């Protein structure tokens, strides 16, 4: 209940209800883009400042390895399962979506942890960055294999792995996150003191504003799922819990701390609705965008924000 009463969550719910009621309330795209970049920059700085204090140790390396392992395992399992209920190309696109991560879900989780005084490592921002690309690369490999099997592969649909890696690693949002993380590490405590009014004092209010926009956007994407199999809706609701369970088992086995465990669960449970669609629309044009965007933004994102994050925190608190 505490998570639901967080103002940022309430603004998301308000935006969702406003969108479902067909309100003309909207956030201009330029402002929404600015808020997204601000949140990533502030998150990177926070993570960098924390890393400057803690340094790199075995526990941090284990956390990062767990994150990469999940980023590979989840799309592999998802594609194997999904191609039994939707087309192979759609299965590859959805596997990429659910194998990658949502930065906003992660940022919201960090705020809930801070409000409940649960500490976590700054390196988890780096874990999020590492989990962005593996699922996209695997999905393109899946799609190319399907084209070969169907003997319909065309030169225009071939995507060079080097080009894909370059696009993933130089994506503006991801680059900003990693650059801010590095700046935080290099500037340390003095940088933290200077940037506090920007990266700490403003953060909560701007996150609430951004989540209002996300609520409106989620409501607009729900109609794209009209006419889809009920199994699609079941997957979009069950996948976050199953993926979070994988992360919890890994975290418990390797003895990760409470905060890091929760954030690893959140990363595994989240689904991308920005980075993946941008690449997949070009790399897998045969896939239906209304399906993978509708699932991630219309169902999984609201589920994680309202129900998932508090649930993952409760599970970790109870069983760690």
* CB atoms closer than 10 angstroms to residue 60: 19
Residue 155, pLDDT score: 47
What tens digit of pLDDT does each residue of 123-142 get?
999 898 888 888 888 888 88
Residue 50, pLDDT score: 80
Give me the domains of the chain, ranges plus CATH numbers.
7-16+28-319 (1.20.1530.20)
Higher pLDDT, residue 276 or 294: 294
Residue 40, pLDDT score: 83
Q: How far is the C-alpha of 73 from the C-alpha of 292, rounded, in Å? A: 19
What tens digit of pLDDT does each residue of 244-273 get?
999 999 999 999 999 999 999 999 999 998
């Amino acid at each position: 209940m505490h998570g639901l009463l967080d103002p940022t969550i309430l603004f998301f719910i308000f935006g969702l209800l406003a969108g479902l009621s067909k309100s003309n309330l909207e956030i201009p795209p330029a402002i929404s883009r600015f808020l997204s970049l601000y949140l990533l920059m502030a998150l990177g700085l926070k993570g960098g400042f924390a890393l400057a204090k803690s340094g790199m140790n075995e526990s941090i390396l284990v956390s990062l390895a767990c994150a990469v392992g999940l980023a590979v395992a989840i799309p592999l399992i998802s594609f194997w399962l999904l191609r039994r209920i939707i087309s192979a190309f759609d299965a590859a696109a959805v596997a990429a979506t659910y194998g990658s991560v949502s930065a906003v879900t992660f940022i919201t989780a960090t705020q809930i942890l801070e409000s409940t005084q649960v500490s976590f490592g700054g390196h988890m921002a780096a874990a999020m960055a590492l989990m962005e690309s593996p699922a996209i690369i695997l999905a393109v490999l899946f799609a190319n294999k399907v084209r070969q099997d169907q003997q319909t592969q065309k030169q225009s649909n071939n995507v060079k792995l080097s080009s894909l890696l370059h696009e993933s690693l130089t994506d503006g949002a991801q680059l900003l996150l990693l650059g801010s993380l590095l700046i935080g590490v290099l500037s340390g405590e003095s940088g933290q003191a200077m940037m506090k009014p920007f990266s700490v004092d403003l953060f909560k209010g701007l996150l609430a504003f951004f989540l209002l926009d996300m609520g409106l956007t989620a409501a607009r994407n729900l109609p794209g799922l009209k006419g889809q199999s009920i199994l699609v809706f079941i997957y979009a609701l069950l996948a976050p819990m199953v993926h979070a369970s994988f992360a919890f088992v890994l975290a418990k086995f390797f003895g990760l701390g409470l905060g890091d465990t929760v954030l690893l669960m959140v990363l595994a449970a989240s689904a991308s609705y920005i980075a993946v669609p941008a690449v997949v629309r070009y790399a897998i044009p045969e896939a239906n965008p209304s399906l993978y965007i509708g699932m991630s933004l219309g169902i999984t994102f609201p589920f994680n924000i309202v129900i998932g994050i508090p649930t993952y925190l409760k599970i970790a608190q109870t069983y760690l």
